[in-house]
A and B are shown apart, each in its own frame.
Chain A
């Protein structure tokens, strides 16, 4: 299939990671005529962004921005998409980089699958859906989510009883339980790392209930609750299905906290909390929303106005770090905090639902495979951020998006363009040099002839 095609094609750039940054870089390269290979470890591209509800500060629906890009990536004649694949090793050679990629088995023939989901409907195993942060349900064989690209099912062998029902149900007979992992290689001139980020684990802080309190959720979970395709189809709390009347946001629940080993600011949490607050007050107009914060970092274009609008809409902002979250007899989370702004009183307030504004953590260590070190914060090290924000300390390999530190979508997209520029310029210059070299050789030969 694809590999054969690749042998005949010269691939110019490899983009690792199919999130918004990776997609934008790939598109910007492909639009210039470069052949791009994209490797994504999940079964669909779209990254973290595709799971979000609406985005700040425009409040337009997130999938309206992501899905067209996903679609463009999938359909672009210069982009070759490899999902459910992981990069195993990278070797440098005279032509650039030889990358060995592992194709994880989907246990079905990806070329034949039409994404009809018949297999999913017959599968007897209900599993927690990772796309919904384990709040919703899915099956052991499934299309990852409704807008997945490619629309191909994937079978989770870890949770399969091999009953064979899917095999029988599949109209094209593409299920193959005996599929094995496969390795293939890609030869490229340059690599762009767009490996993205992870979020703070919900159980990271014992003062916040160590993940044991079911009505204390994290920001990404709230995104799913707000998304029209969310697990419950409405905003109810995961502890007992109650529609919350009073919702609290705990800012810096994973950032700017030495006890968690994360001293940096995660950059997006203030804005996503404010955005979610605005969305909630749209769906649950009577709900009280409180945001406990230390500094509101509404720094971007239009962000400050967004923050002021939220304030004007009645979202309550309380300055003070929540020290402790416990739970009352009705599973209602109780937050304890000092309001440092107003008379410095210590208070305990009961809410129906608490959202931890968890921060961004590096998701991938580039050291073993790419021999690129991490900075103090664990994100990919960039030696000259003010001159070359996408250039790593290994020539020919570039970094973009949240792999290079916490970043919001706007900044990721801009940086993705910059990474595409850097790698394109790197390739142009390499080619120019090769031509100069060739010319020099030719002229030498001429001299020799004479």
Chain B
């Protein structure tokens, strides 16, 4: 894999401990390879994140965000719905800033959803290979660097 020499677009995965994070662990247990430009952070429920959070991520140079929540399996009442609301509210704000909305995706991943997990990751990776870094397309309101 010689192409690894350079910095690649980064995918941040926000995965619920009861769903996506455990699903990622299952993928690991199967020893299935996927790209290394993926960074998984555990969350209790992604409904914690306001729109600004996602926007800030892109501003900081995160090129894509996969939110892997537990969907209907969520242990939190109203959590999944609220997550969806927050993300839907983020899309127009992304557009305003010229960010391709495909960079933010919400997916329901269960503890053994190894195939969907891999599908999401590879799809996003392929997308990024096409559209490149977020910084290159962003219109940054304030002068940042």
B143 to chain A, nearest CB (A): 49
Residues of A57-97 whose CB lies within 8 A of B? 58-60
Please, which residue of chain A has its CB at the minimum distance from the CB of B31?
Answer: A59
Q: How far is the CA of A245 from the CA of B29 in the complex (A)?
A: 27
Please, which residue of chain B has its CB at the minimum distance from the CB of A282?
Answer: B31
Q: How far is the CA of A58 from the CA of B31 in the complex (A)?
A: 10
Classify chain A: how many residues form its interface, as a range.
under 10
A59 to chain B, nearest CB (A): 7
Please, which residue of chain B has its CB at the minimum distance from the CB of A58?
Answer: B29
Please, which residue of chain A has its CB at the minimum distance from the CB of B29?
Answer: A58
List the B side residues contacting A60 at CB < 8 Å. 29
List the B side residues contacting A58 at CB < 8 Å. 29
List the A side residues contacting B29 at CB < 8 Å. 58-60
Residues of A33-77 whose CB lies within 8 A of B? 58-60
B6 to chain A, nearest CB (A): 27
List the A side residues contacting B31 at CB < 8 Å. 59
Q: How far is the CA of A58 from the CA of B29 in the complex (A)?
A: 6
A54 to chain B, nearest CB (A): 12
Q: How far is the CA of A134 from the CA of B65 in the complex (A)?
A: 53
B103 to chain A, nearest CB (A): 34
Q: How far is the CA of A165 from the CA of B108 in the complex (A)?
A: 65
Q: How far is the CA of A59 from the CA of B31 in the complex (A)?
A: 9
4 contacts between A and B (CB under 8 A): A58-B29, A59-B29, A59-B31, A60-B29
Q: How far is the CA of A439 from the CA of B31 in the complex (A)?
A: 62
Q: How far is the CA of A59 from the CA of B26 in the complex (A)?
A: 12
0/1 string, B38-78, CB within 8 A of A gives 1: 00000000000000000000000000000000000000000
Please, which residue of chain A has its CB at the minimum distance from the CB of B30?
Answer: A309
Residues of B1-44 whose CB lies within 8 A of A? 29, 31
Please, which residue of chain B has its CB at the minimum distance from the CB of A57?
Answer: B29
0/1 string, A283-326, CB within 8 A of B gives 1: 00000000000000000000000000000000000000000000
Q: How far is the CA of A389 from the CA of B69 in the complex (A)?
A: 42
Q: How far is the CA of A59 from the CA of B29 in the complex (A)?
A: 8
Closest 4 A-B residue pairs measured CB to CB?
Answer: A58-B29, A59-B31, A59-B29, A60-B29
Q: How far is the CA of A43 from the CA of B116 in the complex (A)?
A: 49
Q: How far is the CA of A58 from the CA of B25 in the complex (A)?
A: 11
Residues of B113-127 whose CB lies within 8 A of A? none
Q: How far is the CA of A60 from the CA of B30 in the complex (A)?
A: 11
B28 to chain A, nearest CB (A): 10
Q: How far is the CA of A59 from the CA of B32 in the complex (A)?
A: 13
Residues of A3-49 whose CB lies within 8 A of B? none
Please, which residue of chain B has its CB at the minimum distance from the CB of A309?
Answer: B30
Q: How far is the CA of A446 from the CA of B31 in the complex (A)?
A: 72
Q: How far is the CA of A329 from the CA of B66 in the complex (A)?
A: 60
Q: How far is the CA of A431 from the CA of B29 in the complex (A)?
A: 46
Q: How far is the CA of A23 from the CA of B134 in the complex (A)?
A: 53
Residues of A367-412 whose CB lies within 8 A of B? none
Q: How far is the CA of A242 from the CA of B29 in the complex (A)?
A: 31
B8 to chain A, nearest CB (A): 26
Please, which residue of chain B has its CB at the minimum distance from the CB of A278?
Answer: B31
List the B side residues contacting A59 at CB < 8 Å. 29, 31
B129 to chain A, nearest CB (A): 28
A260 to chain B, nearest CB (A): 36
Q: How far is the CA of A388 from the CA of B60 in the complex (A)?
A: 61
A303 to chain B, nearest CB (A): 14
A111 to chain B, nearest CB (A): 42
B116 to chain A, nearest CB (A): 18
Q: How far is the CA of A22 from the CA of B43 in the complex (A)?
A: 37
Q: How far is the CA of A59 from the CA of B28 in the complex (A)?
A: 10
Q: How far is the CA of A300 from the CA of B29 in the complex (A)?
A: 17
Q: How far is the CA of A346 from the CA of B31 in the complex (A)?
A: 37
A60 to chain B, nearest CB (A): 8
A61 to chain B, nearest CB (A): 13
Residues of A243-290 whose CB lies within 8 A of B? none
Q: How far is the CA of A302 from the CA of B31 in the complex (A)?
A: 15
Please, which residue of chain B has its CB at the minimum distance from the CB of A302?
Answer: B29
Q: How far is the CA of A445 from the CA of B100 in the complex (A)?
A: 88
Q: How far is the CA of A87 from the CA of B29 in the complex (A)?
A: 41
A64 to chain B, nearest CB (A): 13
A229 to chain B, nearest CB (A): 22
